[in-house]
Structure 1
């Protein structure tokens, strides 16, 4: 199935029903979509905040993971503080990694995973080396190989 056909199906489903705390902001084409997410529990780190996600799809989607980053906008002025979210919006999440991605995932499941990741966070901090990473990284998120702490060595 082509990326466009898959995304058309996903878009129709999202337009019919979105999980609580997830909003479709823009899906004018089948290359870039914008979604807003809110943390639904009473986590004091994110209470009342909405965060914008930018999804960039390659022609190999859903075989290849979309590039997903947090971005700022006039209505979503902050990147969430989280030990797996860099200050430039790049997300270190195995689901978005080449090895962790599966075509069974979709935009909705990615948004829900990120909601869950924020919900469970208790640390108001950035990943170690955030400033150096943001300053020196010139790679696209999909080209970064993160080391996940739960990997077996």
Structure 2
């Protein structure tokens, strides 16, 4: 990992630890010693389908962060059923792919995911969940997403 990437990640970690927005919880065992992998808890917002539910996001940072997006996916026993989240934890969110910009941060990704969860009208995985999970790469960053205007 480059020095610039390391400095950026340390700055973001410090900000999350000192000014964490509501609904975002830093795992005490995170990040790992080389900063390449973080686990962050997200808590469903009050008044939503996921109210009070706690989910774990895993961020994996490559050597080109923040110029390339981190790999982000849900992990653990509780992966939310959502039209943009596959049962293997992969997240279909444009800012994690084509719309990534270095101006984004771990915090902004977490807030976008919380917003996505909050706007859900029903708890269900995408229509193509079974085939996607069976045929996809283990790395969501290697997936070519087709974003479409659907109603969540």
TM-score normalised to the size of structure 1? 0.90
Q: Select 1:38's aligned residue among 43, 47, 50.
A: 43
Q: CA shift at 1:138, angstroms?
A: 2.5
Task: Name the SS of the counterpart of 1:127 in structure 2.
Answer: coil
Q: CA shift at 1:30, angstroms?
A: 1.2
> What is the match of residue 70 of structure 1?
74
Q: Counterparts of 1:71 and 1:87 in 2: how far apart (Å)? A: 10
Q: Judge which range, 61-70 or 126-135, deviates more.
A: 126-135
Question: Which runs of 5 or more structure 2 residues have no equivalent in the other structure?
Answer: none
Matches within 5 A, 1:95-114: 95-97=95-97, 99-114=98-113
Q: CA shift at 1:66, angstroms?
A: 0.2
> What is the match of residue 8 of structure 2?
6
Which stretches of structure 1, 4 residues or longer, exceed 6 Å deviation after superposition? none
TM-score normalised to the size of structure 2? 0.90
> What is the match of residue 93 of structure 1?
93
Q: CA shift at 1:41, angstroms?
A: 2.4
Asked if the contact 1:22/1:37 (under 8 Å) is kept, the reply is yes
Asked if the contact 1:2/1:59 (under 8 Å) is kept, the reply is no
1:27-47, Cα deviation, whole Å (9 max, x unpaired) = 13310000000122211x312
Please give the root-mean-square deviation of Cα atoms over the aligned residues, in Å.
1.2
> What is the match of residue 54 of structure 1?
58
* Closer/same/farther in 2, CA of residues 17 and 52 from structure 1, 3 Å limit: same
Asked if the contact 1:82/1:126 (under 8 Å) is kept, the reply is yes
